[in-house]
Chains A and B, each alone.
Chain A
Amino acid sequence: MDTIYLNGIGILAPGFNGWNNTRSILRGEAQYDANQTSDIAVSLMSPREKRRANKTSLLAVHLAEEAIQHADIAPDTLIPVFSSFSGDLQITDKLCTSLADDDPIISAFLFHNSVQNAPAGYWSIATHSTNPSTSIACGCYSFHAAFLEAASVLSTEKKDVLLAVYDLDTPYPLCTQCRADAACGVAMVLSNTNTHQTIAALAVSLTNEITEPYQHSNDEINNLIQKNTSLHAISLLDPIANQYSGKISLNFLDSMSIIITHLNPQNINLINSCDSSREHLTRS
């Protein structure tokens, strides 16, 4: 499979406010503070669509906007691969509460916003992109499945991919096992092309060996990742932030591992070798 270039990153979670801030925290250059959290903000959507959109869609668009800004790429050139563990569960909670009535009346608006592909729909409307999009669910492995799907789209469709994985905090009793306890998510622009914006070069493969889940040394960050499926992406972002080259193994579905090799920027002549002064360590 061809090399995958990571050309843009978006991230929002308690204490992680965009890629620059997150990179500094992961490098140990800035203090992690869970209370410092940015609001969801979008600029590509019209005021009318912003009013219509559900919070999950706004979160997804927020993440996607940051990633495409880093990648410096037109949004309508990308194929979206969006992933979350279900549709908008805050809406589901409202719908199921209404449906408990003997003679229920539910909002048509809430109903069509409840579908899992609502964020992809709003993204296409905001960016006027008629490119196909996929919206997938994979339980606690939302990021892993989306990354594999994105790799398969890159390889076969030969177009850049916008990966976004996100979830809102979920109301009881929904999603008690791999729950999300805050609005969180990560977006990436993945490409076949090495550009001035390229952050990392990656190779991906699958093996049927099972690896241990990623652990971050900071307990607070580790807890956040455990409680928010979409943040499993940090297991890839951490070595990228720290410029560790080598293999990153992600346990997928407890039956296999996705091996993502972070190629040494010096060996692959990244146009933008972001921080060559740091020592390259190998972690495999």
Chain B
Amino acid sequence: MKPLILSHYTLTNALGRGIDATSLAIKSGKSGLHACDFETLQLDTYIGRVAGIEDEPISGELVNYDCRNNRLAQIALQQDNFLEAAGRAKTKYGPDRIGLFLGTSTSGILETELAYKNYTTKGLGVPDTYHYHETHDNFSLASYIRQVLNITGPSFVVSTACSSSAKVFANASRFIECGFCDAAIIGGVDTLCSTTLHGFSALELMSSDRCRPADINRNGISIGESAGFVLLEKHESKKEGIMLVGYGESSDAYHMATPHPEGLGMADAMSSSLKRAALTANDISYVNLHGTATKTNDATEDKAVVKTLGTNVPCSSTKGWTGHTLGAAGITEAIISVICLKQQLIPKSLNTETIDSSIEANIVLDTHHKPLTYVLSNSFGFGGNNCSLIFGHS
């Protein structure tokens, strides 16, 4: 593939607002997870919640879009001068030549949950303030951001559960390659809601503690929320920065909620990303694992990593910091991979005390500096939907 440069990017999650907040937390080893205090939920678990969303409603012309998911999008877009970068891209390419591809798994479903709880199930219909189309609908995120940024190019939302906002890199690459757009703004937003907290609880996949990826005593995920955005442009030789050099996608064709036991689909996605980048396993300096901290994911991902990349390459999951941000996990960990490349930093597997002896990959237990050339980031979702991305320096 023709590499694409990540000209500008921003990230907001439980670690704070903007790139520096995540970067500082990774260096200091401070987790963003805390005991669940979301709405009135009584669940024995930890969550990665973004502070202050409740106090920053969307107002003005776009008031109907006001919901937790779009509020987090609003907050994230205001960090790291992203709006200015989008404005410059608009001037350079024209608003109709910028594509917008975003990932989410549950969009603004919290609005529907609250409408049902407070009105519908009490026979009260729905309140005038409930707007399905602008909040809960999976396209509402892109519809909202098209209007905030005033861009008019091709756009859609990818919703493939926990790989959603990794796959948008592939969509943007294909659309730019085809000439459907000249540049793209990509990203993803997923926010806390009862559906996912109770849903993963019903699947018995939630940890009662801060998640511990690859640990012998790991007992499930901690759910977080996050929003990240990237401006992707064609690479011009004079530009320096971090580039997307490869992506790989695959399906498990095995089970809706459990990965293939040998990690075949995961391995396929990684191999395909290497092939597209014209790289070999030895070129990868660090792997940011999907690493959800469930028994099954970490064991099968380990098999896939060992099969594809061997046992030497340093690996870690950063979900101990952010929690599993589901539909936003792809973009969150892509941007963390970029931070690692920029700072030549390998983050440890936070909260991991004793590595599961059956795990053969090189799980990193101390955050340290090391020269990095290429970083691979994994994202895997329900339905056996897998995506791997490779980033490198220009």
CB contacts (< 8 Å) of A108 on chain B: these are 199, 202-204, 257
Given contacts A173-B120, A174-B132, A99 and B202 within 8 Å (CB-CB): no
Q: Are B384 and A124 in contact (CB under 8 A)?
A: yes
CB contacts (< 8 Å) of B210 on chain A: these are none
B215 at the interface (CB under 8 A from A): no
Q: Are A139 and B96 in contact (CB under 8 A)?
A: no
In the bound assembly, the distance between CA atoms of A106 and B116 in angstroms comes to: 15
Which B residues from 198 to 214 make CB contacts under 8 A with A?
A: 198-200, 202-204
A177 at the interface (CB under 8 A from B): yes
In the bound assembly, the distance between CA atoms of A152 and B179 in angstroms comes to: 9
Cross-interface CB contact of B152 among A139, A141, A174, A256, cutoff 8 Å? A256
CB contacts (< 8 Å) of A141 on chain B: these are 156
Q: Are B250 and A156 in contact (CB under 8 A)?
A: no
Q: Interface size class for chain A?
A: 35 or more
Q: Least Cβ distance of A35 to chain B in Å? A: 29
Given contacts A99-B113, A135-B159, A152 and B199 within 8 Å (CB-CB): no
A112 at the interface (CB under 8 A from B): yes
Q: Least Cβ distance of A57 to chain B in Å? A: 9
Cross-interface CB contact of B385 among A87, A121, A129, cutoff 8 Å? A121
B195 at the interface (CB under 8 A from A): yes
A221 at the interface (CB under 8 A from B): no
Q: Are A138 and B174 in contact (CB under 8 A)?
A: no
CB contacts (< 8 Å) of A127 on chain B: these are 253
CB contacts (< 8 Å) of B126 on chain A: these are 173
Cross-interface CB contact of A105 among B202, B203, B256, B381, cutoff 8 Å? B202
Stretch touching chain A among B69-77, B133-141, B369-377: B133-141
A42 at the interface (CB under 8 A from B): no
Q: Are B96 and A124 in contact (CB under 8 A)?
A: no
A206 at the interface (CB under 8 A from B): yes
The proximity string for A residues 137-152 relative to B, scoring 1 for CB distances below 8 Å and 0 otherwise, is 1110100010011011
Q: Are B137 and A153 in contact (CB under 8 A)?
A: no
In the bound assembly, the distance between CA atoms of A148 and B155 in angstroms comes to: 10
A1 at the interface (CB under 8 A from B): yes
In the bound assembly, the distance between CA atoms of A177 and B251 in angstroms comes to: 33
Cross-interface CB contact of B251 among A129, A149, A256, cutoff 8 Å? A129
Q: Are B116 and A96 in contact (CB under 8 A)?
A: yes
- Which of B126, B152, B157, B265 lies at the interface centre, i.e. has the most chain A CB atoms within 10 A of its CB? B157
Which B residues from 129 to 180 make CB contacts under 8 A with A?
A: 130, 132-133, 136-140, 142-143, 146, 152-161, 167, 171, 173-175, 177-180
In the bound assembly, the distance between CA atoms of A135 and B200 in angstroms comes to: 21
The proximity string for A residues 104-116 relative to B, scoring 1 for CB distances below 8 Å and 0 otherwise, is 1111100111111
Given contacts A99-B117, A173-B132, A138 and B177 within 8 Å (CB-CB): no
A52 at the interface (CB under 8 A from B): yes
A20 at the interface (CB under 8 A from B): no
- Which of B200, B251, B252, B384 lies at the interface centre, i.e. has the most chain A CB atoms within 10 A of its CB? B251
Given contacts A130-B253, A137-B139, A155-B178, A174 and B112 within 8 Å (CB-CB): yes
Cross-interface CB contact of A128 among B178, B198, B253, cutoff 8 Å? B253
Q: Are A112 and B382 in contact (CB under 8 A)?
A: yes
Q: Are A173 and B125 in contact (CB under 8 A)?
A: yes
A77 at the interface (CB under 8 A from B): no
Q: Are A256 and B96 in contact (CB under 8 A)?
A: yes
CB contacts (< 8 Å) of A252 on chain B: these are 154
Cross-interface CB contact of A139 among B139, B159, B173, B255, cutoff 8 Å? B139
Q: Are A97 and B133 in contact (CB under 8 A)?
A: no
A255 at the interface (CB under 8 A from B): yes
Q: Least Cβ distance of B308 to chain A in Å? A: 15
Residue of A nearest to B117 (CB): A100
Cross-interface CB contact of A151 among B178, B255, B381, cutoff 8 Å? B178
CB contacts (< 8 Å) of A1 on chain B: these are 178-179
CB contacts (< 8 Å) of B105 on chain A: these are 115-116
- Which of A112, A127, A156 lies at the interface centre, i.e. has the most chain B CB atoms within 10 A of its CB? A112
Q: Are B174 and A155 in contact (CB under 8 A)?
A: yes
A122 at the interface (CB under 8 A from B): yes
CB contacts (< 8 Å) of B138 on chain A: these are 85-87, 116, 137
Q: Are A115 and B133 in contact (CB under 8 A)?
A: no
Q: Least Cβ distance of A233 to chain B in Å? A: 16
Residue of A nearest to B1 (CB): A156
Q: Are B137 and A85 in contact (CB under 8 A)?
A: yes
In the bound assembly, the distance between CA atoms of A128 and B384 in angstroms comes to: 12
In the bound assembly, the distance between CA atoms of A52 and B130 in angstroms comes to: 32
Known: A136-B156, A136-B159, A152-B174. 7 other contacts (CB 8 A): A100-B116, A115-B160, A117-B161, A145-B154, A155-B178, A175-B132, A176-B133
- 26 A-B residue contacts at CB 8 Å? A52-B256, A86-B138, A92-B112, A96-B116, A96-B195, A100-B117, A107-B202, A117-B159, A117-B381, A117-B383, A122-B383, A125-B384, A130-B250, A131-B251, A132-B269, A132-B385, A134-B171, A136-B158, A137-B137, A138-B155, A138-B156, A149-B174, A155-B174, A156-B178, A177-B132, A178-B133
Closest 3 CB pairs of A and B: A121-B383, A132-B249, A111-B199
Which B positions have Cβ atoms within 8 angstroms of A? 42, 96, 105, 107, 109, 112-113, 115-117, 120-121, 125-126, 130, 132-133, 136-140, 142-143, 146, 152-161, 167, 171, 173-175, 177-180, 194-195, 198-200, 202-204, 249-257, 264-265, 268-269, 381-387
